[in-house]
Structures are given as structure tokens and as C-alpha cells.
Chains A and B, each alone.
Chain A
């Protein structure tokens, strides 16, 4: 295995060749699936037509630019956000099970969103704020409950799984108590779906995610250093007391933003970072392969959800649950055998 080095003046960077190759391949797959997503619909467009429509030519400009492109963009960016969120918590807990959907952060974000809908009946911004607040509160509760002279990854995960169960029950109770039309809207949203999203739905979310991605890029070196353990991280200049809250904010922010727009889409955050890590053969859980795997995974799942029972479009959360659930059981089996 060799590495590629880039140096120019005061700038320098290095990447493992395999990570570069794998990442490039994932970008190509994501773009190809994206093109497929633009072509697929009630009426198939040829790739040529789809590309022409993107450029603003042909008859199907509205269909492709206003209907299909937002959905494809949402799947790619939200998938990447879920991959990043998963990588954050898997690095923090140093455990493949440490993922926001498993430790109850999706459920917490959903609780926050439900509460603001039922109590405040606000718009998209209130919903997003409630969702992020819910996710952060759930994260704080899990952290405090698992504190015992420091926090161990496994204890945090076990408490998070319990928290997930409690919050899921709470969510069901809120839906049961809500008024009928709210309850119906909430239930279809709870499956996690990209059906019918348009630019107006996703633009605020995309903006928030862009900021979070930049923050994560700035923190990623320190995050990778922290995987060496608290002692080496601290003695090589990582300020863990600053780093940890910030990366938790990024992880929860990514999860909650996606949840606010599309509902809780589970298992992408769990699986994508591990797929990226294995493909790249890398140490720790690297962020770029995690984000790219997440993008490919969610877009593929969304395409499958549209095609499987066409013309009926399934919620993408149903697909990710079906596939990811199997992976989760396998992972649980492997982890319990290990310890």
C-alpha cells in the first residue's frame, strides 16, 4: 500500500492510494446512480435527455430540474450527512454499534419534532429547531446516564439502545394523543421518506448541512487523532474538552437536520461508515469514505424504494430498515461474540 503526497509551498497533504481510488470510485457510482435517478420516473428519460434538461433544454426541464433533481440531491446529501453522523459516533465510542440511529438520537430528534408540531404547530424552521433540540437533549441525557468516572463506549451504547426504546414508546404515545390529521401526517413521516420533496423543502437543510460539513472538515484531524485514546490525543495537543462537544454537535446536527426534512431514516448512519472503512481499508472510521458510502447507500435505497412496487413509491426508510436491520443483527451477533 502506498500513499500519495501533495506539497506546494506551505501546503501539504497525504492520502493513502487505496482511499483515493475507493473515494473516486464511490463518486463515480454516486453520479451514475444520480443520473439514473434523473432518468427514472413515470416516463423514462434517456440519459441524454436528462443531461440536456439539466442544462435547461428540451421538454422535460420542469420534471427533471424541479421534481427529480431535488430528490436525487436530497438522497445524496442526506446520505452523506448520515454517513458523517455515523462516523462521528463510531469514532467517539470506538465501536461499530455506536451510531445515532441505534443510540436513540434519531428517536430523540423525532420526539423534538413531534412535540413542536403538536404543541406549536410551526413551519419547517420550527420543526428543524425542535428536531435538533430533541437530538441534543437525547445526546446529553445518554451522556449523563452513562457517566461513571468517564464515559466508556460500550456503556454509552447500551444506555443509548435503552434510550432509543424509551423515546420510541414516547413517540408512539404522542402520536396516539395527537389530533387525527396531525397523527396521520406524523405516521407517514415517521417511516423516513423522500417522496415528493422539492427545493423549498430541502434548501434550508442543505444550507445547515453545508455548514456542518465544513465544521467537520476542520475537526477531522483532531477527531482521527482522538481515536488513539484519550492519553495520546491529549499529549499530542488535542483539546478533548473542546473537540468532543463540537463533534457531538456536528453528529447530532446532521442526524436531526435529515430527520426534520425526511423523517428518521435509520441504518444508513450505522452501515455507511463501516462500508467506507472496509472499502478504504483504513484505520479508525474515515469521514470521506463514510460520507460517500452514505450518499450511494441512500440514493440506491431510494431508487429501489421507487422501483420496487412502481408506480407506488415506498418510503426509503422501509428499504433501509429491511436491508440495514439484517446488517444490524449480524453486527450485534459479531460484537457480542467478541466481548
Chain B
């Protein structure tokens, strides 16, 4: 398994509150990796450490073998894009302006709107299906539309790595599956997708690689069809359940038996 993005012996903490210790992980290249686990198990914290939002107390996150904390921010931002859980748009900003902000790592003081920038923004808006909203104000959009605008912004960044923290929150079920299919398509085009997902069935359906976390530690890792069993799910979520094949895709499907 090839991997450019890795975590080595991470200790992650917010002040004195330690979330994870001795966390070691390799994110498989060109795959769709889903991180699952109960609330507050350290999934988001792990993702935040990957994009330098949280400096590890010990250990390091490496990209191409280099410690990301020693990489220049714009250089890393051309490789790894991040969609946080809650994003707050500035007042008055138009959709096309917000999506264009995703180009920041590619811009310099003297070049703030190159032809590449324009093409990337147009393509990102088309991919996230927000082209029709281009001249609307972001604050006037519905929650679901707004989430797709943020996704377009991250896509405009044109990074080979996409880190997504619960990207399907606020979306109705149809838009959830459309968005996940979009990420799967991007994976097919060669990008690496790492998503924290709440819905374990969606994770099993879309992910090539599943990381199951509990209390800050990784307790299972691998292809969903290899690792997802009723005892594992019971252990991760404290939920009695049955695992059956998804009638549509054949991937594992969890049926709670509570």
C-alpha cells in the first residue's frame, strides 16, 4: 500500500485534555478512506492534525516523508484541502467569490485571478452543482446549498488530497448520496479522499478503506468487507446489531437490533 500522508506516534491534545496517544496511521493513496466512530472519539481531531490546525504534542504528521509542521503553509495547501465541520461565510459574499477563495494557495501578490484560477472555479462550481447559484449571496442559501458551495470552494483548491469532516451534514438524503458519489468520482480520477462520516452504512458503501476509532485509538482498519462485523460495530458504537449485505451494492450493512 502506497501512502504519502501518514501519522507517526501522534499524541493529540487540547490543552491538558488528551484525545489520542501513540496514533500511527497510513492513508492509502488514491483511495476513499472513511473514518468512523462514536461522537467525540477523536475523528475530527485526527483530521485537524493532518492540516496543521492542531499541532501534535508528540509525533508528527508527514506528507511525502516531511513533517507537515515544517512545510510552508501554501505548499501544503496545494496538496491537501480541508472541509471543516462548521463553516461561517462572511456577510455579503457571493457564491462565485467564496468559491474563488479556494484558489488562495495558487495565487501570489501579483497574480490573483489567472486563467487557471478562472477555469478551476468554473469546473468546481459545475462539479458541486452550484453554477446556477454563482451570483447569489451565500447567506441567503439553504443549508444544503451552502454546504455544496463550501465543497465547491475546496474543489477549486484542486488538491490531490481531500479531507472532509462530516461533509454530508445538513444535506437531505438525495444530496448526501450525490455528494458521496461526487467524492467517489474524484477518487476514480486519482484523488485521495479522507472523510469523517457519521453514517456507517454510507461509509461501508463508498469507502475503500475504513478506519474505526474509539476513545482516540484506532481499533480496526481495512476494507469494509474485511473488517466490518457485528462485534466490531458493537464495540465501536455500543450498539447491538446485525451485519447483512447491502441488497444494492453487497457491501456490509448494519441493522441495529436494539
- CB contacts (< 8 Å) of A231 on chain B: these are 48, 53, 82, 84, 87
How close is B186's CB to chain A, nearest CB, in angstroms? 17
B112 contact set on A, CB distance < 8 A: 12-14, 221
In the complex, the chain A residue whose C-beta lies closest to that of B54 is: A234
Please report the C-alpha to C-alpha distance between residue A149 and residue B82 in the assembled complex, in whole angstroms. Answer: 22
A239 CA to B77 CA, complexed, in Å:
11
B150-164 contacts to A (CB < 8 Å): 153, 157, 163
Chain A residues near B14 (CB-CB < 8 A): 149
Please, how many angstroms separate the alpha-carbon atoms of A329 and B76 in the complex?
45
Q: If the complex has contacts A221-B104, A225-B101, A232-B87, are A281 and B113 also in contact, measured as CB distance less than 8 A?
A: no
Query: Does B59 belong to the interface (CB within 8 Å)?
Result: no
Bitwise interface map of B from 91 to 135 toward A, beta carbon under 8 Å scored 1, else 0:
111100110011011010111111101100000000000000001
Instruction: Name the segment of A3-11, A170-178, A254-262 touching the other chain.
Output: A3-11
**B81 to chain A: closest residue by CB:** A235
A-B contact count (CB 8 A): 99
Is there an interface contact between A228 and B77, defined as CB atoms closer than 8 Å? no
B171 beta carbon closer than 8 Å to chain A? no
Answer whether residue A284 sits at the interface, using C-beta atoms and an 8 A cutoff: yes
B77 partner residues in chain A, CB cutoff 8 A: 235-237
Chain A residues whose CB sits within 8 angstroms of the CB of B15 once the complex forms: 149
The proximity string for B residues 36-63 relative to A, scoring 1 for CB distances below 8 Å and 0 otherwise, is: 0000000000001001110000000000
Q: Kindly identify which residue among B53, B89, B90, B135 contacts A230, using a CB–CB cutoff of 8 Å.
A: B53
- Write the nearest CB–CB distance from B103 to chain A, whole angstroms: 8
Whether B80 sits at the interface, judged by CB under 8 Å, is: yes
Given known pairs A236-B157, A237-B77, the reply for A228 and B101 (CB within 8 Å) is: yes
* Contact pick for A281, options B92, B105, B117, CB 8 Å: B92
Q: Is the CB of A234 within 8 A of B52?
A: yes
Q: Is the CB of A283 within 8 A of B107?
A: no
> Given contacts A13-B113, A237-B77, is CB(A221)–CB(B94) below 8 Å?
no
How long is the Cα–Cα vector from A277 to B93 in the complex, in angstroms? 12
CB under 8 Å from chain B, chain A span 1-42: 1, 5, 7, 10-14
| Known contacts A149-B15, A234-B73, A228 near B90 by CB under 8 Å | yes
What is the distance, in angstroms, from A320's C-beta to the closest C-beta of chain B? 25
Query: Would you call B189 an interface residue if the criterion is a C-beta within 8 Å of the partner chain's C-beta atoms?
Result: no
A218–B101 CB distance below 8 A: no
Restricting to B57-78, which residues have a CB under 8 Å from any CB of A?
A: 73-78
The answer to whether A236 touches B113 (Cβ under 8 A) is no
A291 to B179, CA, bound (A): 42
Is A239 within 8 A of B135, CB to CB? no
Residues of B within 8 A of A (CB): 14-15, 48, 51-53, 73-78, 80-82, 84, 87-94, 97-98, 101-102, 104-105, 107, 109-115, 117-118, 135, 153, 157, 163
- 6 tightest A-B contacts by CB? A237-B77, A283-B93, A14-B113, A237-B74, A235-B82, A237-B105
By a beta-carbon cutoff of 8 Å, the part of chain A in contact with chain B is 1, 5, 7, 10-14, 94, 149, 218, 221-222, 225, 227-232, 234-239, 277, 281-284
Q: List 26 A-B contacts (CB under 8 A).
A: A1-B135, A5-B113, A7-B113, A10-B110, A11-B111, A12-B110, A12-B115, A12-B117, A218-B109, A221-B107, A225-B101, A228-B101, A230-B53, A231-B48, A231-B82, A234-B51, A234-B53, A234-B73, A235-B77, A235-B80, A236-B102, A236-B104, A237-B105, A283-B90, A283-B94, A284-B90
